[in-house]
C-alpha cells in the first residue's frame, strides 16, 4: 500500500492512548493502544511524564505491529499525522525546555480563587481546569517556579512540540488555555492585555501560537521521529496538522462543526459541545470554546463519567473470578450495560454520585463516590446498573438545561461517541432519555478522538482550495456514513427526570461525604 495515502491520528485520552491509521477514503486501517490511568499525588491529579513518553511509544509500537499484521508492510511514513490529548491543564517549561511543575490535569479543582478573579476581570467564564486559571493560581500561591516560566502549554501542545519543534496548537485546543476571539481566530486581545496588566507578564510570549484546521503545524523532525519510534522505522519529514484537544477531535469525528450541531463525548469525563449562532451570557456551568476552525462552541464539561462504572464492573469481574466463572472484561461490560435496559425508568429509588474528583457544575472541589438507597427501593441488578449509567449523565443534564432553557440554544442534531456508547443502544438510549431528543451514533464512534485527529490531518492534506472543514466532512467523509439514531420512549424520559429530581435534592449527601470522609 502507498503509505503516503494514509493519515495517522494519535490521542492521549484519560484512560487510553490510541493511534488510528486511515486510508484516503477515511476508513480505519489499523490501530494501536495503551492503557493508563491518572494518579492523585499530593492532592494533584497528574500523569508522570515518563508514563506519557512510555505510553505514547508503546501505543505507536502496537500500531506498527497491527499495520504489519494487516497490510504486510512496515509503517515507515504516512501522508500526514496529528496528535490530540485531554484539553486544559498545566504544563510549564523554562527557556531551556525543562519542565517546572508536575502536569496538572483537567481533573483538578484547585484553582477556585484564580478562576473567580479572571472571570470577573474578563467578563467571561474561566473554568478551574483552564490553563490560564492554573497559571494565575500558581502566581497567587507564590509558587517559586512561576518566575522561570518561558512556555506554557497543554499535553497535546507538549507532544506536538516534541514531534515538530513548533510551539503551536489548533484553535480549539488553544480555547481551553485562554479565551479566543472567533473573528480574529486568535487569543482575545482585550483579555490578553487585561491579564498582562494583572500579572505584569507578556502572556503572548509564553502561550503557543494559534493555528486553525487546514493550516500546517510543521513537519516531523528527526528528533521527533526518534522520540515517537525509538526503533528508527519511522522517517522524518511527515506533515503534521495543528494539535487539537479531545473536544475538537470529538467534533470532527461526529461531523459536529456546523452551527446548531452538537455531540456528547462520554468516557472518563463527559462533555457536550454545541456550536452556537449567538453570544451567550456568563454561566459558570458553561465554557465557551471553539471548533477546530474557530467557530464558537458552548461546552458543558463534567469531570466525572465512567470511572465509577468501571470500578463496579471490576468488582463484578473479581466476583466472577472468585466463583470460577471468569469473564472477558469487554463481554462483562456489554452484559451489565444491557442489564440496565431492564431496570425501572427511574431506577427504582436507587441513587449514586459518580464523583471521583471535584465537579464544577455542582460546586464541589472534591469527590467521593457514593451509592445510596432507601429501605423500600427496588434493589435489583438492573436498577443498580441503570442508576450508575444515569448518574454518569446527571451532571451533564444540569448544564444542558441551562443551554436549552435559559439560553434557548437550538440543537438540530446530537451525536454520541466514546466508551459510554460502545455497547450498542444502551448508552445512546440513556443519553436520549437525558436530553429528551434523538441521539445518533456513527459506526466510527468507537474510534473517537484519534479518528477525529486523523480526519483533521486528512483535511490539511487533501482539502480543495477554499473548502471549509464543515464541507469537507459533509461531502468527503460522512456523505455515505452509516449511523444509528434512537429516541428514548416517553416513560424513559419521565423516568430520567424523576431520577434527576431525586439526584439534585440529595446532593447534600455527596457534600456531606466530601466533608466527613
- The more confidently predicted of residues 445 and 462 is 462
Within a domain: residue 302?
no
Nearest of 444, 449, 435 to residue 484 by alpha carbon: 444
CB 275 within 8 A of CB 297: yes
Q: What is the DSSP string of 355-375?
A: -SS-BGGGTBSS---EEEE-T
Q: What is the pLDDT at residue 444?
A: 64
Chain centroid to CA 193: 29
Give the count of beta carbons closer than 10 Å to the beta carbon of residue 325. 8
CATH of the domain at 135: 3.30.420.40
CB 428 within 8 A of CB 486: yes
Stretch 251-257: mean pLDDT: 91
What's this model's pTM, rounded to 2 decimal places?
Answer: 0.84
Stretch 296-324: mean pLDDT: 94
- Say whether pLDDT at 446 is over 70: no
- The more confidently predicted of residues 290 and 481 is 290
**Residues whose CB is less than 8 angstroms from the CB of residue 176 and which lie 6 or more positions away in sequence, other chains included:** 87, 88, 129, 130, 131, 154, 245, 247, 287, 289
- Spatial distance between the Cα atoms of 310 and 330, rounded to a whole number of angstroms: 11
Asked if 183 and 312 sit in the same domain, the reply is: no
Stretch 49-70: mean pLDDT: 97
Asked if 130 and 236 sit in the same domain, the reply is: yes
- Say whether pLDDT at 361 is over 90: no
- Spatial distance between the Cα atoms of 438 and 314, rounded to a whole number of angstroms: 31
Chain centroid to CA 126: 17
Asked if 456 and 509 sit in the same domain, the reply is: no
Within a domain: residue 440?
no
Q: What is the pLDDT at residue 437?
A: 85
Within a domain: residue 435?
no
Stretch 356-367: mean pLDDT: 89
Nearest of 353, 309, 322 to residue 506 by alpha carbon: 353
For 218-227, letters b (16+ CB in 10 Å) and e give bbbbeebbeb
Asked if 363 and 464 sit in the same domain, the reply is: no
Residue 382's domain comprises 307-399+487-516
Residue 363, all three cell numbers: 460546586
Q: Work out whether strand 261-266 and strand 413-417 pair parallel, antiparallel, or are unpaired.
A: parallel
Within a domain: residue 157?
yes
The number of folded domains in the chain is 2
Asked if 161 and 242 sit in the same domain, the reply is: yes
Within a domain: residue 372?
yes
Asked if 123 and 56 sit in the same domain, the reply is: yes
Summarize pLDDT for 7-23 with one digit per residue, the tens: 999 999 988 999 999 99
Asked if 153 and 37 sit in the same domain, the reply is: yes
Asked if 81 and 227 sit in the same domain, the reply is: yes
Asked if 450 and 503 sit in the same domain, the reply is: no
Amino acid at each position: 500500500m502507498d503509505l503516503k495515502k494514509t493519515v495517522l491520528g494519535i490521542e492521549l485520552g484519560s484512560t487510553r492512548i490510541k493511534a488510528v491509521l486511515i486510508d484516503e477514503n477515511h476508513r480505519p486501517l489499523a490501530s494501536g493502544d495503551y492503557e493508563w490511568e491518572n494518579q492523585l499525588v499530593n492532592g494533584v491529579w497528574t500523569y508522570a511524564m515518563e508514563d506519557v513518553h512510555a505510553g505514547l511509544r508503546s501505543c505507536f509500537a502496537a500500531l506498527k505491529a497491527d499495520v504489519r499484521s494487516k497490510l504486510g508492510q512496515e509503517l515507515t511514513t504516512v501522508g500526514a499525522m496529528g496528535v490530540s490529548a485531554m484539553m486544559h491543564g498545566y504544563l510549564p517549561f523554562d527557556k531551556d525546555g525543562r519542565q517546572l511543575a508536575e502536569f496538572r490535569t483537567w481533573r483538578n479543582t484547585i484553582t477556585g480563587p484564580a478562576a473567580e478573579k479572571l472571570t470577573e476581570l474578563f467578563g467571561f467564564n474561566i473554568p478551574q481546569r483552564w490553563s490560564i486559571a492554573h497559571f494565575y493560581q500558581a502566581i497567587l500561591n507564590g509558587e517559586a517556579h512561576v518566575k522561570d516560566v518561558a512556555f506554557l502549554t497543554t499535553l497535546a501542545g507538549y507532544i506536538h512540540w516534541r514531534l515538530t519543534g513548533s510551539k503551536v496548537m489548533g484553535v480549539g485546543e488553544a480555547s481551553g488555555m485562554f479565551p479566543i476571539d472567533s473573528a480574529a481566530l486568535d487569543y482575545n486581545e482585550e483579555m490578553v492585555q487585561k491579564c498582562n496588566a494583572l500579572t505584569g507578564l507578556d502572556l503572548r510570549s509564553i502561550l503557543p501560537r494559534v493555528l486553525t484546521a487546514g493550516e500546517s503545524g510543521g513537519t516531523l523532525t528527526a528528533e521527533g521521529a526518534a522520540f515517537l519510534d525509538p526503533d528508527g522505522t519511522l522517517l522524518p519529514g511527515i506533515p503534521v496538522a495543528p494539535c487539537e484537544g479531545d473536544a475538537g477531535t470529538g467534533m470532527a469525528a461526529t461531523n459536529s462543526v456546523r452551527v446548531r450541531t452538537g455531540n456528547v463525548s462520554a468516557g472518563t469525563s463527559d462533555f457536550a459541545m454545541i456550536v452556537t449562532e449567538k453570544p451567550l451570557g456568563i454561566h459558570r456551568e458553561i465554557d465557551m470554546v471553539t471548533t477546530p476552525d474557530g467557530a464558537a462552541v458552548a461546552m458543558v464539561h463534567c469531570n466525572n463519567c465512567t470511572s465509577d462504572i468501571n470500578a463496579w464492573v471490576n468488582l463484578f469481574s473479581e466476583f466472577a473470578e472468585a466463583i470460577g466463572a471468569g469473564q472477558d472484561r469487554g463481554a462483562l461490560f456489554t452484559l451489565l450495560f444491557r442489564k440496565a435496559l431492564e431496570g425501572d425508568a427511574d431506577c427504582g429509588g436507587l441513587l449514586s454520585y459518580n464523583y471521583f474528583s471535584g465537579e464544577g457544575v455542582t460546586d464541589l472541589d472534591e469527590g467521593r463516590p457514593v451509592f445510596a438507597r432507601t429501605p423500600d427501593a427496588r434493589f435489583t441488578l438492573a436498577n443498580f446498573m441503570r442508576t450508575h449509567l444515569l448518574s454518569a449523565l446527571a451532571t451533564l443534564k444540569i448544564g444542558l438545561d441551562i443551554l436549552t432553557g435559559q439560553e434557548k440554544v437550538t440543537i438540530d442534531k446530537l451525536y454520541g461517541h466514546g466508551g459510554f456508547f460502545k455497547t450498542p443502544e444502551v448508552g445512546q438510549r440513556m443519553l436520549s432519555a437525558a436530553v429528551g431528543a434523538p441521539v445518533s451514533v456513527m459506526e466510527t464512534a468507537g474510534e473517537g478522538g484519534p479518528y477525529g485527529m486523523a480526519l483533521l490531518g486528512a483535511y490539511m492534506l487533501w482539502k480543495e482550495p477554499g473548502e471549509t472543514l464543515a464541507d469537507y466532512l459533509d461531502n468527503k467523509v460522512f456523505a455515505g456514513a452509516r449511523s444509528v439514531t434512537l429516541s428514548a420512549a416517553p416513560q424513559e424520559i419521565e423516568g430520567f427526570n424523576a431520577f434527576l429530581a431525586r439526584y439534585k435534592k440529595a446532593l447534600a449527601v455527596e457534600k456531606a461525604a466530601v466533608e466527613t470522609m
